[in-house]
Amino acid sequence: MNYQIISTQPQIYDSFLQTNLIARAINSKIIKMQIHNLHDFAFDKYKSIDDTPYGGGCGMVIQVDVVANALSKIEKPTFAKATAGRRKTKVILLTPQGKKFTQTDAKRLTKEKELIVIAGRFEGYDERIRDLVDEEISIGDYVLASGDLPAMVLIEAITRLIPGVIGNKESVQNESFSEIKNLQLKIPARQAGGKNCLLEYPQYTKPAVYLGKKVPQILLSGNHKKIAQWRIKKSIERTKKFRPDLLK
């Protein structure tokens, strides 16, 4: 996977690129990461990338021509939606108005060979920028100062699902929002309310007793079939308590 990030503040990624999981994936040549400074694609000597909004209002708006220039230089052939059939690289715009990002999206995006991610700033984007991208994504119903933190969330969520990044496959299969079929636990579809994911079951490690609280005896039994049944039961209970929306 090759990530191309278009940012207004590329220095914010310095530490991120050196973190354990991302650094290991880069060193293992499983992923590549290129950070592009949007200011480098500006047209004036001041490297301006934004201007005041037509019609008045507060804040600054990122210019469509600068973003278009960046995309045309980063991706070839042309990026225009009219030629999307020839496009090889998916372009993602990070915006609060986008579709909410899920584990399913992360898994889907692992199939891409390359992603261009636009992480904006300021008041927002010129509306015409939306015509230059393939999809718009939000990481939640709140507003941040820039799209760089959402870009990191997107990249880590996708990268950890790419084969070879995490050694133990079960680590990414048996976790919250994993598909039920990947839990290797049988559950009638009606119990999941037609949905295809649950929150992860409770986990324990040593010591077996801490401040009077014991590890459930079933986990010490060695009976893997009963442990599997217990885990799916607890996953359903936890989902009902904390994310009942997943069961509707």
Burial letters for 221-237: b for 16+ Cβ neighbours within 10 Å, e otherwise?
eeeeeebbebbbebbbe
Return the DSSP state at 158: H
Distance, CA of 237 to CA of 137 (rounded, Å): 30
The domain 2-159: what is its CATH number? Answer: 3.40.1280.10
Q: In CATH, which of 1.20.272.10, 3.40.50.970, 1.10.1270.20, 1.20.140.10 is domain 170-247?
A: 1.10.1270.20
What is the per-residue pLDDT for 248?
74
Q: What's the pTM value of the predicted model, to 2 decimals? A: 0.82
Domain positions in the chain: 2-159, 170-247
- Cβ proximity of 77 and 86 under 8 Å: yes
* 158-184 pLDDT per residue, tens: 999 999 999 766 666 656 555 555 444
Kindly give the confidence (pLDDT) of every residue in the chain, 248 residues in length, as a single tens digit, with 9 standing for 90 and above.
Answer: 999 999 999 999 999 999 989 999 999 999 999 999 999 999 999 999 999 999 988 889 999 999 999 999 998 644 555 444 456 799 999 999 999 999 999 999 999 999 999 998 877 899 999 999 999 999 999 999 999 999 999 999 999 999 999 976 666 665 655 555 544 444 443 343 445 578 989 999 999 999 999 999 999 999 999 999 999 999 999 999 999 988 87
Work out whether the CA dihedral 42, 149, 133, 28 comes out positive or negative: positive
What is the per-residue pLDDT for 121?
86
